[in-house]
Amino acid sequence: MSAYVFDRYTQEALDAQYNNQLACPGFRETLAQGTALSAAAAALPGARDVAWGTHPLERLDIYGPRRLGASGGAGALGGVGASGDVGTLRGEGAQGHAALSPGLPALLPVLLFVHGGAWLTQEKEDSAFGAQAFADQGCLWVALGFPDASDVPFADMVASVRRGIAWVHTHIAAHGGDPQRIVLAGHSSGTHLVSQALTHDWSAEGLGTQPFHGAVMVSGLTDLEPVRLSYRNTRLNLDAAHVRRYSLAHNTPAVRVPVVVAVAERDTDEFRRQARAMADRLREFNMLADFDVVPGRHHFDVILDLADPGSKLFRDTLALLMRNGAGGTGGDGGGSDATNRQP
C-alpha cells in the first residue's frame, strides 16, 4: 500500500485534490466566459494599465460606473464622444478610455480583485468579469496585476501584492475611489494572497492598522502545507518556513475586518476543507461575516457569481462595500458569526 503523505492522502490522491483543472473538465469554457465578461467591461470609464510599482507587471486597471442614479447624487460620468475624445481622469490619464467625471460629489466604494491561477497564471486583463455588475451599483472595480511565482520568488510575489494594496489605499481617491471603503476579493490562490494582507502589520508603513475594510475569500487556501507536499511545489519551491510564514492557519490577523468566505459545492474535498478551516480561523477573531457553500458551482465558475447581482456572493460583497468603513462591528473584529452551511 502506498504511504500517506498528508492526512489520509497518498501522493497521487493529494495531487488530484489540488489539480482543479482535472476536477473541472469544462474549465476552459468557464475561463473563456470570464474573459468575455472582462472584455465587455473595457467599455466602462476608468483607467487602464496604471503603473503602481517598478516591476513591468505591477500595473492595475480601474473600472467605474457611467452614471449614478438619484440615490448616488451624481450625474453622468465621463464618456467617449463621437470624436473619440476622452475626459479628464482624477489624477493620471486614462489610457484611451472614458474617464470618471471630476465633478462627482462623493468617492465611490472600491472592490480590489486579486486573481487566482495557482500563483502562476492569469492576468489582470482577465479579471474584470464583475466590473459591470459592481459599476451598476456605483462601485469601482480594481483589477490588480502583479508578478506571479513564475516571475519572482514566492515571498516577492506576496510582498508585491501587499504593495499594490498599499498603492490603492494611498492613490485611489485621485481616481474617484473611497480609501475608507476598500474591500479586497480573491479567488483560489488570490484568496491566499488576500489572507497575507490580513496578517500584515500595515502600521509600519504609515498606513494605520486598517488600509482596507473588508475581504471576500472564494475557494481559497488557509494552509500551504498540503500545497508544499503536492505536485504544485515543483514550481512554487515552498519549504517549511514558507508554510509557517505565509499561512493564515499559522499567523494571527493584524487587520480585523469582516470577511466573507465562500467555496464551491463541487470544489474538491481539500478545497472545501481549506475553506472551512479559513472560516474557523476567522471566527476565532470575530472576523467571519459569512461562510457559504455555493450550490452547483465548481472551482472555476464560483467566482463568476461576482458578475451576477442575483447571487448571494454578489449581495454579501456589496454589503461589505456599502459599510461606512469603520471596520468591525465589534471591538476586535467585524464578523457576525453567521450560521454557516457546511459542505
Domain assignment of residue 331, yes or no: no
Supply the pLDDT for residue 56: 97
Decide if 311 is inside a domain: yes
Q: What separation in angstroms does the CA of 110 have from each of 62, 144, 213, 232, 295?
A: 9, 12, 10, 32, 27
73 pLDDT exceeds 50? no
Q: Among the listed ranges 30-39, 53-62, 141-150, which one has the minimum average pLDDT value? A: 30-39
DSSP 8-state class, residue 101: -
Give yes or no for residue 325 having a pLDDT over 60: no
Residue 218, beta-bridge partner list: 187, 262
The CATH number linked to 232 is 3.40.50.1820
Whether 105 and 112 have beta carbons less than 8 Å apart is answered as: no
Mean of the per-residue pLDDT values of the chain:
86
Residue 334 has pLDDT above 70, yes or no: no
Residue 100, pLDDT score: 55
**Pairwise pLDDT comparison (207 vs 101), residue with the higher score:** 207
Are 335 and 259 contacting, i.e. CB atoms less than 8 angstroms apart?
Answer: yes
Q: Which residues of 286-313 are buried (b: 16+ CB within 10 A; e: fewer)?
A: bbbbbbbbbeebbbbbbbbbbbeeebeb
Indicate whether 326 belongs to any domain: no
Closest CA to 269 of 43, 41, 1, 9: 9
| Residue 106 pLDDT > 90 | no
User: How many domains does the chain contain in total?
Assistant: 1
Q: Which amino acid is at 313?
A: L
What pLDDT score was predicted for residue 6?
A: 98
| Residue 98 in domain | yes
Contact 214, 144 (CB under 8 A): no
Nearest 5 degrees, angle CA 115-CA 117-CA 123? 55
Please check whether residue 327 lies inside any domain of the structure.
no
67: pLDDT confidence band, cut at 50, 70 and 90? Answer: low
pLDDT tens, residue by residue, 288-302 = 999 999 999 999 999
| Assigned domain for 160 exists | yes
Residue 115 burial (10 A CB sphere; 0-12, 13-18, 19+): buried
Confidence of residue 80 (pLDDT cuts 50, 70, 90): very low
- Is residue 279 pLDDT above 70, yes or no? yes
Share of the chain above pLDDT 90, in %: 76
The model's confidence at residue 204, banded by pLDDT at 50, 70 and 90, is confident
Residue 285 is assigned to a structural domain of this protein: yes
Domain encompassing residue 49:
4-321
Which uninterrupted H or E stretch holds 141? strand 140-144
Q: Is the pLDDT of residue 249 over 90?
A: yes
In a domain, 341, yes or no: no
| Range of weakest confidence among 77-86, 92-101, 129-138 | 77-86
pLDDT, residue 148, reads: 94
The whole-number average pLDDT for the span 73-93 is 31
pLDDT for the residue 332: 39
